Amino acid sequence: MRRALSVFVVLALMAGFGVGVNRLIASRKHPIPTEASVFKPTATKPKIVLPGTLYLAQNGDIYRLSSGFFTDLHLSTARGSWMQPAYIPNSQGIVAVLRGAEYSDLYLLSSSGAILRQLSKNAYPQAGKVYLNHWMFYPRMGANGSTIYFSYDQPKDSATYAVDFSVWSGTLFGKLAAQQLSNSNSFTGGDVDPTPMANGSVIYSKFAIGSGNAFSQIAIQVKPLGTPLLLTTPAQDCGQPSPSPDGTKIAMICIGSTGLQSSRLEVATLTNGKLGAPQTLVNNCLCADPVWSPDGSGLVYYNTADATGHFELWWIKGGLTTPASPPLLVTNNLDFDALSPPSWSPLSSVPVMSR
């Protein structure tokens, strides 16, 4: 019975990650990559040296990319997989998700991978009641380095075993889940990818169901539990929003009109709560997780490099104010976790090559 409930919860959880990646991978017929064809990041050197420090997840571990070198944080996977790192502004620390089979928790880590503190305890202490466990995903930090935003399956209806995420906020050194910000749509997976904006609003992917189809829209939460401002239409089916540091541009992944066979990486201006005409930077791709550089001069994202299906890191210099350069491949044969957006710190750390 416990195994059946666990499977049910995990299946429901995956709906929350349906922005495009899972649906797209399922539609492809390429051979599944094997572990033998994937390198550890520390065994390679990126083709391009990017500024600052990037945190990325691969195979349940987290790596730091700085000054052209990868550093393995050597996080133990005994209790689950590490994913979705989020750097803490004005520090060298990060918050990351430890995902187990039946729940997930947030942890505070040093830049070298030392566990400083467990921020949540989402496993219900009594055995056999998996439906009372909770999930937290997509941590993102506010500019003050204290306020944290994340997707959380609360409030939760234990009678239906539904796992629908809403956007919550709290503090690192106070109450973690202090305030619910959004109301999710039931049985959709809910609201994911929350990112704070400079004006205090939160932008995120909001899932809904209409005419028998699931879709995602880019939403902005201006007031806690207020009606969200929807920037895109159901037909566009856009998600994974990434605001530029100055808040004037939004990068996003859209799969509308593709028949779920591919996606598009798009960028649009944001003015007075409205998106301008989107510019397609990469078309007919399996793109995921766009993230702007701290200075807004370009963005990185994940995309497959060849028929093996490995998700690699790519870089595009420029944006809407300057013509975007062609995408450049940063890594080869690394197969990053496409459900874990990169986190980009403007700070540089001393490069250390694991041996």
The token duo for 241 is 């929003």
Q: How many residues does the chain have?
A: 355
Tell me what pLDDT residue 20 has.
39
Amino acid 37: pLDDT: 59
The answer to whether 56 and 63 are in contact (CB under 8 A) is: yes
| 3-state SS assignment for residue 16 | coil
Q: What is the pLDDT of residue 257?
A: 81
Whether the model clears a pTM of 0.85, i.e. scores above it, the answer is yes
Task: Delineate the domains of the chain, giving CATH numbers in brackets.
Answer: 2-344 (2.120.10.30)
- Residue with tokens 């990037």, as numbered in its chain: 54
pLDDT digits (tens, 9 = 90+) for 4-41: 433 333 334 444 444 333 443 333 344 444 545 579 99
- Cα separation, 263 vs 254, in Å, equals 6
pLDDT < 50: residue spans in the chain: 1-33, 35, 350-355
pLDDT of residue 127: 77
* pLDDT for 349: 64
Nearest to 179 by CA among 150, 142, 143, 138: 150
| CB-based burial, 95-126: b 16+ in 10 Å, e otherwise | bbbbbeebbbbbbbbebebeeeeebbebeeee
